[in-house]
Structure 1
Amino acid sequence: MASSKKEVVRVAAVQAAPFAFDLAKSLEKLRTLTAEAAIAGADLVVFPEAFLSAYPWRYNFDATVGARRKWFAKYYDSAVAIPSPEFTGLSQTAKQNRVFLHVGIVEKEGGTLYCTSVLFDREGSLLYKHRKLVPTAAERLVWGRGAGDGLAVSNTELGNVGGLICWENYMPAARMALYEKGVEIYLAPTADDLTTWVATMQHIAKEGRCFVVSANSVYKVADFPPDYPPFTLDHHDRSPDGSPWGPDDILNHGGSCIVSPLGEFVAEPVWDKEAIVYADLHMPAITEARMDFDPVGSYSRPDVFTLIVNTKSGTGVQFA
């Protein structure tokens, strides 16, 4: 049997939008949704990538030579420092609701922002912090890169819990590192709403012989401040049909889902609406699935393939 002390684990993938650039309101929404999931019996509640406090849809933060980036400062101000009162609030939310809580945050340290995932246990203790190893495409303009010390899998009463953020999941070596650590409940917060992403979730579940929980947001234009540059009338950006943006136009369609160790849905993708996606994970299914394929056991070839993972911190300055 899998390492879980629970034979059935109830998970909740929260598909919702924050109040973009408003950390206080976003935290309040997170508390409300977490409580709702806890009342429904969830052991583990998973929020999307960059839920606190927004994935910055459609904006390049005026990234041209010599530009001054006012909105980057606003984005920074709505990010989460570790430690901070806001971060303590996340811990308290996990403890008050007696759930394992996984949240995608925009983390600020020094003058840099990071796309980060944090996992708390039922007592509100931080189990791990993982920074996205490689921000994707234009994300590199606003987010720094993580390090190998965040490639973590936590052994919990629910099983071994870990994961990667969005397109990190297309990094085979990063996935293999988690498989080697024995991940059983694989968390994949994302901002990718393409149908090919859903196929990726099925592939990872079947490849890793683990349950995969993918949480994505549903964003509308109205979820951003009215003066947010991409959606103002004087901005060059337009909706996909070429017309000006309307408040109900959808920027990200969701697709949150939960997948079994054989790549089958235990909760089908949900599109174009806010929802909490629930599933009961029958943990013995992991052991059953690994009888004929185990990526780090019977189906590995360490005599042929070698992976070395540098787990040192990305901090470049140390004080003796």
Structure 2
Amino acid sequence: MSNQNVRVAVIQSAPILFDKISALDKIASWTKQASSEGAQLVVFPEVFVSGYPRGLSMGTRVGSRTSEGRKDWERYWESAIDIPGEDTEYLGEIAREAGVYLIVGVVERDNQFSKSTLYNSILYIGPDGEMLGKHRKLIPTGAERLLWGQGDGSTLTVIDTPFGRIGGLICWENYMPLARTAMYAKGIDILITPTADARETWQSTIRHIACEGRCFVVSSNQFVTKDSYPTDLYGYDDIAQDPDVLSRGGSAIVGPLGEYVSNPLFDQEGMLLADLDMSQVTQSRFDFDVVGHYNRPDVFQLIVKEDKQAIVEFR
């Protein structure tokens, strides 16, 4: 691991729901602003492209789905992106022009088999504009399972950079101890945790993970109001009685001893900027290294299957 410092920008914003152009425009604008302030690593929230449909039922009840809900889901599908594809090329242009590592939460459309399944993914792009990798959420949470498929072990991505190793787990994946252990074993120095969880308990989670993994944790959430929901959605009435602020944010950056580097940002759109001293990662592991000297492989072992799971093989 390098001891080079890095300036990180965490974006707390939201696009117009199901509007890919809105999401890409915001990414371009915020990334340009972050770069102008010296950021080298820019992080966007969970499924920023093209939004987290908080509060929408998609016309579902146990045992049935409505035709209107299917149409709203189709709209979500239309606003998803292919990886790779034209949209990832455009995101690469944004990263290259800004000269930053760009990390974006996206709704990914399967481009291998039926082309209909969606995934909650993290996309990693380098400062040269090249795609460095992706991660698909292993387990969509609760009703999210109606929207997204399950990822597999082939995208537990960790990327080498001049300032350390970066990778991510999405929202409640971070409550999976074995998933965290797999990331620690890959030598993670900066753990990216895009989320849709704005509760105080999430703050406890990211502080614990930073302390446990002796790594920086960079958490990015959307700040969402009803104004970002198109009123012509069939399911718009689902949120009619909800408060105007649907997600209050809570983006934050935590150091490897569990202390805030940037305090949580609530109740507003904005950007967190912080200079991370990567030497703190090495120093923090002096007395605790969860996969090193504080590990007991004679008692506990973890097997991680990183092969891609395919339902069909053509030979």
Provide the rounded CA distance (Å) in 2 between the counterparts of 1:22 and 1:236: 18
- In the TM superposition, what is the alpha-carbon distance from 1:175 to its structure 2 partner? 0.2
Residue in structure 2 matched with residue 79 of structure 1 by the alignment: 80
Amino acid at match of 1:307: L
Residue in structure 2 matched with residue 150 of structure 1 by the alignment: 155
Do the aligned partners of residues 72 and 92 (structure 1) sit closer, same or farther apart at CA in structure 2, a change above 3 Å counting? same
Amino acid at match of 1:85: E
Q: Deviations over 1:158-189 (max 9, x none)?
A: 21001100000000000000000000011000
Partner secondary structure for residue 96 of structure 1 = helix
Q: Does 1:100 align with 2:109?
A: no
Residue in structure 2 matched with residue 114 of structure 1 by the alignment: 119
CA RMSD between the two structures: 1.3
- In the TM superposition, what is the alpha-carbon distance from 1:7 to its structure 2 partner? 2.1
- In the TM superposition, what is the alpha-carbon distance from 1:155 to its structure 2 partner? 1.1
- In the TM superposition, what is the alpha-carbon distance from 1:315 to its structure 2 partner? 2.3
Do the aligned partners of residues 221 and 287 (structure 1) sit closer, same or farther apart at CA in structure 2, a change above 3 Å counting? same
Amino acid at match of 1:67: T
Do the aligned partners of residues 298 and 85 (structure 1) sit closer, same or farther apart at CA in structure 2, a change above 3 Å counting? same
Residue in structure 2 matched with residue 243 of structure 1 by the alignment: none
Within the candidate set 292, 296, 303, 1:301 is matched to: 296
Provide the rounded CA distance (Å) in 2 between the counterparts of 1:236 and 1:270: 24
Provide the rounded CA distance (Å) in 1 between the counterparts of 2:236 and 2:152: 34
- In the TM superposition, what is the alpha-carbon distance from 1:117 to its structure 2 partner? 0.3
Residue in structure 1 matched with residue 219 of structure 2 by the alignment: 214
Q: Which runs of 5+ in 2 are unaligned?
A: none
Question: Greater CA deviation, 310-319 or 249-258?
Answer: 310-319
- 1:188–1:215 Cα contact (<8 Å) kept: yes
Q: Does 1:316 align with 2:311?
A: yes
Residue in structure 1 matched with residue 204 of structure 2 by the alignment: 199
Moved over 3 A (4+): 229-232
Provide the rounded CA distance (Å) in 2 between the counterparts of 1:287 and 1:66: 52
Within the candidate set 39, 42, 60, 1:42 is matched to: 39
> What pairs with 1:171-186 in structure 2 (closer than 5 Å)?
171-186=176-191
Partner secondary structure for residue 81 of structure 1 = coil
Partner secondary structure for residue 239 of structure 1 = coil
- 1:59–1:229 Cα contact (<8 Å) kept: no
Do the aligned partners of residues 96 and 291 (structure 1) sit closer, same or farther apart at CA in structure 2, a change above 3 Å counting? same
Q: Does 1:225 align with 2:230?
A: yes
Q: Deviations over 1:74-131 (max 9, x none)?
A: 0000011122211211111111110000000000111101000011111111111100
**TM-score if structure 1 supplies the norm length?**
0.93
Within the candidate set 53, 59, 62, 1:62 is matched to: 59
- 2:191–2:218 Cα contact (<8 Å) kept: yes
> What pairs with 1:129-148 in structure 2 (closer than 5 Å)?
129-148=134-153
Q: Which runs of 5+ in 1 are unaligned?
A: 241-248
Amino acid at match of 1:267: S
- In the TM superposition, what is the alpha-carbon distance from 1:314 to its structure 2 partner? 2.5
Residue in structure 2 matched with residue 271 of structure 1 by the alignment: 266
Provide the rounded CA distance (Å) in 1 between the counterparts of 2:53 and 2:224: 10
**TM-score if structure 2 supplies the norm length?**
0.95
Partner secondary structure for residue 312 of structure 2 = coil
Amino acid at match of 1:50: V
- In the TM superposition, what is the alpha-carbon distance from 1:44 to its structure 2 partner? 0.3
Amino acid at match of 1:13: V
Do the aligned partners of residues 273 and 152 (structure 1) sit closer, same or farther apart at CA in structure 2, a change above 3 Å counting? same
Residue in structure 2 matched with residue 29 of structure 1 by the alignment: 26
Instruction: Give the aligned length.
Output: 307
- In the TM superposition, what is the alpha-carbon distance from 1:66 to its structure 2 partner? 5.0
- In the TM superposition, what is the alpha-carbon distance from 1:236 to its structure 2 partner? 7.8
- 1:58–1:230 Cα contact (<8 Å) kept: no
